[in-house]
Amino acid sequence: AQSVTQLDSHVSVSEGTPVLLRCNYSSSYSPSLFWYVQHPNKGLQLLLKYTSAATLVKGINGFEAEFKKSETSFHLTKPSAHMSDAAEYFCVVYNAGNMLTFGGGTRLMVKP
Amino acid sequence: NAGVTQTPKFRVLKTGQSMTLLCAQDMNHEYMYWYRQDPGMGLRLIHYSVGEGTTAKGEVPDGYNVSRLKKQNFLLGLESAAPSQTSVYFCASSPTSAGEHTDTQYFGPGTRLTVL
């Protein structure tokens, strides 16, 4: 089975500074990877997904992620944080049978 | 389209009580899932269904039962609630295994359950 590890449980940035949320994956073959966002008291929303078409994936709200096979990483970035980006972010890997395995989550805090 | 809806939004139970959580989707998706979310553990799959009349166990099925009598509905039951089942429960759905977006799951807003 494939798995993901989110390296930081909490990340704090100032508004207008870059965001980096780190995710490593473990897979015996080329995986499908996702980033989901969960705003407070809300359900999960898909930010972006990687399915081997391109290693740099652009998502909604200015986020992007780069798939690096040599580093088994799929880090999420954004050039400039907004207050509205404060949320919990989940790195997720697709397993056979349409099942997903979630990382533990990273809570992003944005300071004014 | 309403997407994926869940009822109720909140519930408080006493130990030993039973309840059923309802998930409904209007996207004609074949696959439906129940997850629980606990702090620091992400979402863990409880049960899932690959079509009407089918169910299967996920990662943490103990203490839960499910039914998929209609394609659009997926019910999660707790027969005898325990404090360890205090959690936020999410339902999700996804299309069949053909097409570009088949592995994207669509989530409901969640049900916050407290067992005293």
DSSP H or E stretch at residue B67 = strand B65-67
The residue among B68, B49, B67, B45 whose CA lies nearest residue B58 is: B45
- The Cα–Cα gap between A63 and A42 comes to 19
Chain A contacts to B (CB-CB under 8 A)? 9, 32, 34, 36, 41-46, 49, 51, 90, 94, 97-100, 102-105
pLDDT digits (tens, 9 = 90+) for B70-101: 999 999 999 999 999 999 999 999 987 655 55
CA–CA separation, B7 and B22 (whole Å): 5
- Number of CB atoms found within 10 A of residue B90's CB: 24
Residues belonging to chain A? 112
The residue among B7, B43, B96 with the most chain A CBs within 10 A of its CB, best to mutate, is B43
Per-residue model confidence as pLDDT tens for chain A (112 residues): 788 999 999 999 999 999 999 999 998 777 889 999 999 878 899 999 988 778 899 999 999 999 999 999 999 999 999 999 999 999 999 877 777 889 999 999 999 9
Predicted local distance difference test score (pLDDT) of residue A27: 81
Cβ-nearest to B108 among A43, A46, A94: A43
In this predicted structure, what is the pLDDT of residue A32?
A: 87
Per-residue CA distances from A40 to A43, A79, A87, A99, B70 (Å)? 8, 23, 6, 24, 31
Chain A environment of B61 (Cβ under 8 Å): none
β strands within A1-112, DSSP E: 3-6, 10-14, 19-21, 23-26, 33-38, 44-50, 56-58, 64-68, 73-78, 87-95, 99-102, 106-111
State how far the Cα of B44 lies from the Cα of B50, in Å rounded to an integer: 17
Q: In terms of CA atoms, which chain A residue is nearest residue B46?
A: A99
Average pLDDT over residues B3-16: 95
Q: What is the pLDDT of residue A86?
A: 97
Q: Which of B109, B90, B99, B113 lies closest to B3 in space, CA to CA?
A: B109
